[in-house]
């Protein structure tokens, strides 16, 4: 008997499963899946921009708010200059339409490699409750750009800020149908506490996360 | 991993005398306990615990059909679902996958099941280089494959001086004294491995039946690297980890990071579904799940089924006075603290971990903080009962209990024995209010004094007081 059949057979035996009640239970789980019941949720204030900003800053990210998407490249350049970081970056192909050169940045729109120092991404959406950026893998939105570089700059349209994780799933179902290969929730710079439980930023992922919210 | 739980008493004794270890544990305790307290204050804790328990119970009650559904959905999206009865089968399956895809190097994100199976040794024997990438696990691996002592802070027992010395010896770089600099050095060492590995191996915090996905909770970002960069990704996880929907995942994610590290959310949280899509520049081409029994199925429908709700947050050990004193190594297997005291005997055999269910004060701190309401002290008590029923307790204890039960059925003799006992104890106390060395049970007084009886026995007092009325 295969391990699969053996494991399932023993589970069925222990649960007192028979052919008849198996069919009933399959129906019951369909009902659970269809219901998609939500659990208790904490209150999230109506001003989602303020909540996202407050939470992100508490997680050691930095935030700047700009009025228009055209202002985002200049905001990124300002941040990099202020922190004496390189003015060259890799960005999502999805952001190729922005005027990076005009902002004084040298930007290549491609997937990040191991030695790229600055990665610029958009987001699929952001979660106000926890201060999380949600990025989905895809041809124009490579996962590596928010992971490999030492600095991650994310452009977040205010209209894409949702209250909680439940709304993220609803948005993915509505706009993508199914889940992408990777849905990543990013909440602040990478960190570790593995040596003497002392918090250090920049474990394997970015040391810095800068969020540019576009109103 | 070899089971050393039989040596609990000796190892706990040594650990209890290790003041340096207790200093490290007490720092960590402060962080984890205070952090959790702050973080859970933001949510309706009781309602969220109740909901989380219900989600886990829903799946355990129909585990077979949920697993079937998960397998169906994962397969539909390009995943391959394999099953392993035990650790040896996990090793065989992973080595087979490595051979099939010509894998030379495997990078690993923390997986406790890989510890259960002793997977690293099996990979090395098959010519595949395993590299642990969680900083704590990496420290232990380069220190001669040392075992973790905590499930979410594996190197909690190491000081920064020990790590600095280890890094200097293994990395051949000038010694660092700053924890930030040491972390950067490990980052640089591991970055090269991330970029050159052929296979990524991870655990799984949850399996989502609705979409056939695995959910991974990490802080360092290594989990994302392991599941994004190599061309093969293998998820190794227990059969009990399945949950119904993405909404359930949202509920559990409100309580898991809060209970574990006191974070409102972990830095990274990834929901991974299937293989690289056409046009994608990153992601694995091959995605395997290994769903593991290794003792879990035996708990289904048993008195211990509640234990399968465990979401591995480590709140129970962080709050446990026994763990605080002896650390994780004394428990002798993969899982320490209260959850380990229950899981270890159930997975490796009650007779191989006799002391563990007794390694508790039954204060129920663990039960109070458990995010899925596992009644840990009750389960430890049940294990103790089973030890008695199976005649596994030491003969001295069994004889003493038999004698006590016989005496208890003979009230006259019981009263006489109590009277003699009190006299004996008073004689031992030599006029003091405490007994320093207890003749018949010397180990009892090895670390503390025994209070001397106050005078007459309860029965004598009772008799006098009744007469007074």
Contacts of A4 (CB under 8 A, 6+ apart): B82, B83
**pLDDT-flagged residues of chain B (< 50):** none
Kindly state whether B27 is in contact with chain A, defined as any CB-CB distance less than 8 angstroms. yes
**Residue B418 confidence (pLDDT):** 87
Predicted TM-score of the model (pTM): 0.93
DSSP, collapsed to helix, strand or coil, labels residue B440 as coil
CB B356 within 8 A of CB B5: yes
**Interface with B, mutate which of A193, A201, A208 (most B CBs under 10 A):** A193
Which of B127, B140, B238, B250 has the alpha carbon at shortest distance from A37?
B250
At A121-158, the pLDDT tens digits run 999 999 999 999 999 999 999 999 999 999 999 999 99
Residue A200, beta-bridge partner list: A192
Side-chain-side CA neighbours of B262 within 13 Å: the count stands at 16
Burial B144-183 (b: 16+ CB within 10 A, else e): eebbbbbbbbbbbbbeeebbbebbeeebeeeebeebeebb
The phi, psi pair for B79, rounded to 5°, reads -80, 155
Cβ A129 vs Cβ A165: under 8 Å: yes
Integer-rounded Cα Rg, in Å, for chain B is 26
Cβ contact A8:B68 at 8 Å: yes
**Chain A partners of B180 at a C-beta cutoff of 8 Å?**
200
Mutate to test the interface with A, among B70, B133, B224, B299 (most CBs of A within 10 A): B224
CA distance A16 to chain B (A): 9
Q: Which residue has the tokens 């010397």?
A: B442
- Give me the residues of A, 86-115, that contact B with CB < 8 A: 110-111, 114
Residues of B in Cβ contact (< 8 Å) with A24: none
What phi-psi label fits residue B266: left (phi over 0), alpha (psi between -120 and 50 degrees) or beta? Answer: beta
**Does A193 sit within 8 Å of B153, measured CB to CB?**
yes
Q: Where are the domains of chain B?
A: 1-41+314-393, 43-297, 399-468
Q: What pLDDT does residue B451 have? A: 87
Q: Which residue among A7, A28, A200 places its CB closest to the CB of B83?
A: A7
Place of tokens 């959790």: B36
CATH topology of domain A48-214: Rossmann fold (3.40.50)
Touching B: A residues 182-211, CB under 8 Å: 182-198, 200, 202-206
Q: What's the ipTM?
A: 0.97
Give the model confidence (pLDDT) of A158-184 as tens digits. Answer: 999 999 999 999 999 999 999 999 999
CB contact under 8 A, A39 and B213: no
> What's the pLDDT at B468?
62
* CA B451 to the chain's CA centroid: 36
What is the SS3 assignment for B336? coil
Q: Phi, psi at residue B156, to the nearest 5°?
A: -60, -25
Element at B94 (helix H, strand E)? helix B87-100
Q: Is B77's CB within 8 Å of A178's CB? A: yes
Nearest by CB: A196 against B89, B160, B195: B160
* B113/B294 Cα distance (integer angstroms): 9
The pLDDT mean for chain A works out to 96
- Chains A and B form CB pairs within 8 A to the count of 261
> For residues B1 and B74, what is the distance between their CA atoms, to the nearest angstrom?
29
CB interface of A with B, residues 119-178, below 8 Å: 130-132, 137-139, 142-144, 147, 164-166, 169, 178
Taking the CA of residue B374 and the nearest CA in chain A, the distance in Å comes to 19
pLDDT digits (tens, 9 = 90+) for A85-104: 999 999 999 999 999 999 99
End-to-end CA distance of chain B: 66
Residues of B in contact with A180 (CB under 8 A): 273, 277
Domain positions in chain A are: 3-35, 48-214
The reply to whether residue B52 touches residue A39, judged by beta carbons under 8 angstroms, is yes
Alpha helices in A44-185 (DSSP H): 48-58, 72-82, 165-176
Q: Is the CB of residue B216 less than 8 Å from the CB of residue B263? A: no
Give the rounded percent of residues in chain A with a pLDDT score beyond 90.
95
| Chain A touched by B266 (CB under 8 Å) | yes
Please give the CATH topology (third level) of the domain spanning B43-297.
Rossmann fold (3.40.50)
What's the mean pLDDT in A206-211? 98
Chain A, nearest residue to B196 by Cα? A114
CB contact under 8 A, A204 and B187: yes
Residues 198-257 of B with CB under 8 A from A: 209-211, 213, 219-222, 224-225, 227-229, 239, 244-251, 253-254
On chain B, the residues whose CB falls within 8 A of the CB of A165 are 249-250, 253
- With an 8 Å Cβ cutoff, is B399 touching chain A? no
């Amino acid at each position: 008997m295969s391990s699969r059949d053996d494991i399932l057979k023993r589970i069925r035996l222990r649960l007192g499963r028979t052919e008849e009640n198996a069919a009933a239970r399959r129906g019951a789980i369909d009902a659970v899946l269809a219901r998609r019941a939500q659990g208790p949720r904490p209150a999230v204030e109506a001003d989602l921009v303020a909540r996202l900003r407050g939470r992100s800053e508490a997680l050691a990210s930095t935030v700047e708010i700009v009025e228009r998407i055209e202002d985002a490249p200049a905001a990124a350049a300002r941040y990099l200059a202020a922190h004496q970081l390189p003015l060259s970056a890799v960005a999502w192909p999805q952001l190729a339409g922005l005027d990076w050169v005009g902002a004084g940045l040298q930007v290549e729109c491609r997937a990040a490699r191991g030695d790229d120092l600055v990665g610029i991404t958009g987001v699929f959406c952001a979660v106000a409750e926890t201060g999380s950026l949600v990025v989905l893998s895809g041809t124009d939105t490579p996962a590596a750009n928010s992971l490999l570089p030492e600095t991650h700059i994310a452009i977040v349209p205010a209209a894409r800020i949702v209250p909680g994780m439940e709304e993220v799933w609803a948005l993915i179902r509505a706009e993508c149908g199914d889940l992408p290969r990777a849905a990543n929730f990013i909440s602040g710079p990478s960190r570790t506490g593995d040596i003497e439980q002392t918090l250090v930023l920049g474990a394997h992922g970015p040391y810095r996360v800068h969020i540019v919210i576009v109103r | 991993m070899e089971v050393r739980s039989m040596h609990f008493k000796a190892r706990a004794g040594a650990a209890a005398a290790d003041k340096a270890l207790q200093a490290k544990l007490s720092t960590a305790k402060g962080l984890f306990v205070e952090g959790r307290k702050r973080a859970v204050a933001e949510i309706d804790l009781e309602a969220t615990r109740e909901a989380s328990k219900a989600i886990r119970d829903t799946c355990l009650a129909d585990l077979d059909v949920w697993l079937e559904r998960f397998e169906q959905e994962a397969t539909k999206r390009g995943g391959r679902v394999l099953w392993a009865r035990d650790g040896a089968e996990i090793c065989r399956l992973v080595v087979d996958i490595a051979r099939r895809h010509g894998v030379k190097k495997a990078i690993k994100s923390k997986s406790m099941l890989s510890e259960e199976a002793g997977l690293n040794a099996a990979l090395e024997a098959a010519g595949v280089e395993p590299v642990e990438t969680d900083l704590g696990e990496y420290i232990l691996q380069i220190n001669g494959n040392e075992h973790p002592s905590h499930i979410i802070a594996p190197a909690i027992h190491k000081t920064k001086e020990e790590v600095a010395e280890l890094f200097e010896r293994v990395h051949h770089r000038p010694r660092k004294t700053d924890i930030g600099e040491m972390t950067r050095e490990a980052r640089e060492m591991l970055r090269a491995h991330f970029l050159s590995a052929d296979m990524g191996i991870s655990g799984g915090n949850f399996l989502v039946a609705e979409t056939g996905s695995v959910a991974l909770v990490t802080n360092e970002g290594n989990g994302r690297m392991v599941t994004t960069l190599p061309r093969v990704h293998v998820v190794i996880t227990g059969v009990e980890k399945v949950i119904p929907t993405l909404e359930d995942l949202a509920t559990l994610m409100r309580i898991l990071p809060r209970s574990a590290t006191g974070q409102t959310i972990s830095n990274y949280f990834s929901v991974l579904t299937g293989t690289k899509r056409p046009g994608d520049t990153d992601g694995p081409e091959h995605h395997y799940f290994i769903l593991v029994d290794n003792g879990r199925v035996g708990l289904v429908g048993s008195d211990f089924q509640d234990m399968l709700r465990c979401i591995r947050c480590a709140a129970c050990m962080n709050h446990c006075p026994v763990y605080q004193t002896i650390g994780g190594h004394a428990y002798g297997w993969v899982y320490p603290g209260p959850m380990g005291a229950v899981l270890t005997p159930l997975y490796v055999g009650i007779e191989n971990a006799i002391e563990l269910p007794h390694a508790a004060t039954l204060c129920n701190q663990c039960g109070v903080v458990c995010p899925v309401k596992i009644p840990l002290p009750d389960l430890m008590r049940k294990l103790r009962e089973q030890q008695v029923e199976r005649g596994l307790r030491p003969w001295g204890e069994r004889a003493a209990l038999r004698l006590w039960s016989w005496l208890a059925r003979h009230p006259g003799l019981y009263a006489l024995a109590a009277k003699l006992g009190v006299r004996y104890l008073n004689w031992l106390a030599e006029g003091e209010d405490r007994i320093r060395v207890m003749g018949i049970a010397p180990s009892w007084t090895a670390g503390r004094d025994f209070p001397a009886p106050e005078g007459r026995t309860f029965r004598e007092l009772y008799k006098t007081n009744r007469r007074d009325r």
